């Protein structure tokens, strides 16, 4: 049984490689190019996979899943700048693709072994990326 | 192979609590959902079937038949009901989203020939949903 919980958070980011010149950064990253950050209301769906407990009828306690998502994702990223405030994007760009992988890793560590199936990250309602093991 | 999904909204009340547990234990495991008076959700059941297209009709399954079956087997028994009280299965099983999804799976499996039931997804609120398929049945 797959169970999915959704949350929203708002963060700012910029895409910029210091060793590239301005023209190349703008050519590759377009409107996402720095040096100034911009923001998104991110939507995140977290899907866990497990069997239904015979007594409780639950795959996972939704409150526990919410607490993990709040602690690992909400507190770390909500109303923060991904580049400046998190220490996670000094050597990699906070693109949706990279960010989804980072989120998968953080949640995978915090949830029971092997339970996390995939995460879907939507920086805007118009596009999404999915990260799995 | 092609997959087809239809959405079926329904509304129902439930309490998440086991009669054989104390109120404190139920509150501990199920939180707000254990409130004895019950509470309700606008659920959406998504039913996905898969199979081959009928070369003549260009369809996977007659939609009207699929709708009638889902209505009769799942929506009518659950819609505008108090699940714990009104649905025999949920007198012994707690009507979590997980168990409601399994209820729908069991009610529909094998009934949609020539198509095959691929998965059911139950959306309980905008923030949580569960998905059940053959893989889930095996685990």
Burial B44-61 (b: 16+ CB within 10 A, else e): ebbbbbbbeeeeeeeebb
Beta bridge partners of A13: A38
Residue to test with chain B: of A7, A56, A120, most B Cβ within 10 A: A56
- Average pLDDT over chain A, rounded to an integer: 94
Asked if the Cβ–Cβ distance from B127 to A57 is below 8 Å, we say no
CA-wise closest residue to A33 among A41, A23, A46: A23
- Does residue A38 contact residue A13 with C-beta atoms inside 8 Å? yes
CA-wise closest residue to A53 among A104, A117, A115: A115
pLDDT at position B137, please? 76
- Does residue B102 contact residue A3 with C-beta atoms inside 8 Å? no
The token duo for A98 is 């990279």
pTM: 0.85
Helices (H) and strands (E) in chain B, counts: 7, 5
- Does residue B101 contact residue B121 with C-beta atoms inside 8 Å? yes
ipTM (interface predicted TM): 0.76
pLDDT higher than threshold 90 for residue B104: yes
pLDDT at position B57, please? 82
- Interatomic CA distance for residues A104 and A100, integer angstroms: 6
pLDDT tens per residue, range B28-55: 999 989 988 889 999 999 999 999 998 8
Nearest CA in chain A to B130: A3
Q: Which chain B positions have a beta carbon within 8 Å of A115's beta carbon?
A: none
Q: Which chain A positions have a beta carbon within 8 Å of B139's beta carbon?
A: 1, 50-51
**For A40, phi and psi rounded to 5 degrees?**
-135, 150
Restricting to A residues 37-96, those with a Cβ less than 8 Å away from any Cβ of B are 47, 50-52, 55-59, 61-63
Output the DSSP codes for B93-116.
Answer: S---HHHHHHHHHHHHTT-STTSE
Q: Which chain A positions have a beta carbon within 8 Å of B128's beta carbon?
A: 3-6, 62
pLDDT at position B139, please? 64
pLDDT higher than threshold 70 for residue B97: yes
* B99-115 mean pLDDT: 96
Closest residue to B132, CB basis, from A1, A5, A63: A1
Asked if the Cβ–Cβ distance from A57 to B93 is below 8 Å, we say yes
* 3-class secondary structure, A109: helix
């Amino acid at each position: 049984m797959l169970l999915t919980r959704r949350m929203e958070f708002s963060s700012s980011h910029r895409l910029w490689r210091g060793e590239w010149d301005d023209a190349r950064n703008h050519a590759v990253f377009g409107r996402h190019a720095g040096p100034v950050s911009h923001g998104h209301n991110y939507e995140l769906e977290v899907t866990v996979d497990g069997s239904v407990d015979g007594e409780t009828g639950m795959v996972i306690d939704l409150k526990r899943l919410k607490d993990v998502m709040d602690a690992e994702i909400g507190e770390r990223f909500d109303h923060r700048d991904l580049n400046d405030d998190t220490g996670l994007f000094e050597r990699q760009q906070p693109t949706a693709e990279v960010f989804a992988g980072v989120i998968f890793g953080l949640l995978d560590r915090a949830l029971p072994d092997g339970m996390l199936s995939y995460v879907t990250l939507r920086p805007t309602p118009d596009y999404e990326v999915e990260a799995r093991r | 192979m092609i997959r087809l999904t239809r959405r079926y909204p329904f509304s129902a009340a439930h309490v998440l609590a086991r009669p054989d547990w104390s109120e404190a234990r139920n509150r501990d495991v199920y939180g707000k959902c254990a409130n004895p008076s019950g509470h309700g959700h606008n659920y959406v059941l998504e039913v996905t079937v898969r199979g081959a297209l009928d070369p003549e009709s260009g369809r996977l399954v007659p939609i009207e038949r699929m709708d009638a079956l889902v209505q009769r087997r799942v929506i009518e028994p659950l819609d505008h009901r108090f699940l714990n009280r009104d649905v025999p299965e949920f007198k012994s099983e707690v009507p979590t989203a997980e168990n409601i999804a399994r209820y729908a799976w069991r009610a529909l499996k094998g009934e949609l020939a020539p198509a095959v039931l691929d998965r059911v997804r139950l959306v309980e609120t905008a923030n949580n949903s569960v998905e059940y398929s053959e893989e889930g049945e095996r685990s």
